[in-house]
Structure 1
Amino acid sequence: MHILDDPCLSPRVASLLARARRGHEMPADRIRARARAETPDGEEAAAPPGAVEAMIRFEERYGGLWYPLLGPNGMEHGLHGEATVYLTSDGWTFPGIHDGDQTWSVDVLPDERTAMTLAGRPRIINSSILQRLESHAQLSQVREWPHATFAVATEPGREPTVTEAGLPALDAEATGPADRWWVDSGTAMHLKLHKWWGEEDIWVARCFAERAENLAPTVDALRHAVTDAAWRDEDWCGLCTHFRQPAQACLPDAGR
């Protein structure tokens, strides 16, 4: 079943996809006919049957899906006439998503995990496409709330350690390898991997509060919860797409 026909989506994903468009899907017989594989050295190989079936499942579920998130480009899903799988350090992958906000390709693994390669360094970023949608849906729900943005630096390949006792409940459906959400009825906290090449990993930390007076204690709670990473000030807000003073709150209702 295509996701836009699925009546069992969570309310927030359904709300996110209410703005979606649906393009053409690549038929299964065409995928099988065009399927090919490529090794890391560029040699062509027979496409593994499991990878071919994964492309078919992906196209039947997500083919042609497009929805906006932060900017006008949107998230575009589909094989677009190609059916090539590539052998990578994470296994066989195929290019199935174009992240319009980051203007970059997202690869899909047969188990529906996703990976992104930047600066020649691949990284698993989502545990599934549905988790990616849940995360995007949660961001869409709170992006207009007052918020503050920081950066957190860790050793390469290591996630920040977070003591969750003083935080809202972990939003397991929206949380994956490269982003983690803690959410309650009036606040939300998000850690998202931003850079994973070089001498350290950089995570963007965002705190949201429905009421502006609750933003400062939300920030304090997350700062106390992250125990083994270096906090950095960040002067760019990717949600409002403007520079501001480090640690300055963004108050969308105050005339952004």
Structure 2
Amino acid sequence: MPHQAIEAMIRFEERYGGLWYPLLGSNGMEHGLDGEATVYPSIDGWGFAGILDGDQTWTVDVLLDERTVLMLAGQPRIINSSMLQRLECHAQLAQVRGWPHVTLGLATEPGQEPGVAEAHLPSPDGEATGPADKWWGDDETVIHLELHKWWGDVDIRVARCFTRRADDLPAAVESVRRAVTGGVWRDEDWCGLCSHFRLPEQPCLPNAVQRHA
């Protein structure tokens, strides 16, 4: 075990130990070295268990350079370029999840990144963007392209279109369909933000639901 591993674990615990916040569900994101801290080698480098993802109900491992790895269905994948990028991504999602939105599905060949013509989208959000999450946004429209499944015959991504005004959603959806290429668009009838089924491309209006509840 390299001596840098101990330094990385101490640094992680000092910065993030005890941090907890909810994102999509009530379980929350728990940060910290729990129990007997163990460092282990992987194909992506030395790492340790530092985060319990409450939404996935699964451990997220932290590499010595603060990239994060999530293993689902026995397949590890680097999902964040740093802890700061992970926190920025979650902060952005928390900020816009109450906006009207539409969820699309995109299938690509395993390991293949879709092409993106950013001229059709708002400005890129570099601080929130990482290996599994791409963000673009302005004051009126925010686009989130998230890697959702990376095992099996194809990789699955979800593209979420958020707008302040529900009337602007069709234009945002059209922009995303024009901008993102290299995959096959598929019907997506589940909204992971609202935890309910709806017709493909049917808008979710969470704020409207809350106002009339």
- The bucket for the TM-score relative to the shorter chain is over 0.9
Larger Rg: 1
Structure 1 unpaired stretches of 5+: 1-46
Alignment match, 1:178:
132
Count of aligned pairs between the two proteins: 210
Alignment match, 2:191:
237
Distance in 2 between residues matched to 1:234 and 1:68, nearest whole Å: 25
Deviations 1:148-207 (A, max 9, x none): 001111111122110001210100000000000001001100011110011110011100
Alignment match, 2:145:
191
Alignment match, 2:23:
69
- What letter corresponds to residue 186 of structure 2 in structure 1? R
Alignment match, 2:52:
98
Q: Aligned ranges for residues 86-235 of structure 1 at < 5 Å?
A: 86-235=40-189
Secondary structure class of the residue paired with 2:168? helix
Identity %: 70
- Shift, 1:83, TM fit: 1.7
TM-score, normalized by length of structure 2? 0.96
Secondary structure class of the residue paired with 1:215? helix
Distance in 1 between residues matched to 2:158 and 2:40, nearest whole Å: 30
Q: Aligned ranges for residues 1-12 of structure 1 at < 5 Å?
A: none
Secondary structure class of the residue paired with 2:181? coil
TM-score, normalized by length of structure 1? 0.80
* Residue 213 of structure 2 corresponds to residue 246 of structure 1: no
Where has structure 1 moved over 6 Å in runs of 4 or more? none
Q: Which has the higher contact order (CA 8 A, sep 6+)?
A: 2
CA RMSD of aligned residues (A): 0.9
Secondary structure class of the residue paired with 1:158? coil
Structure 2 unpaired stretches of 5+: none
- Shift, 1:247, TM fit: 1.2
Distance in 2 between residues matched to 1:177 and 1:58, nearest whole Å: 20
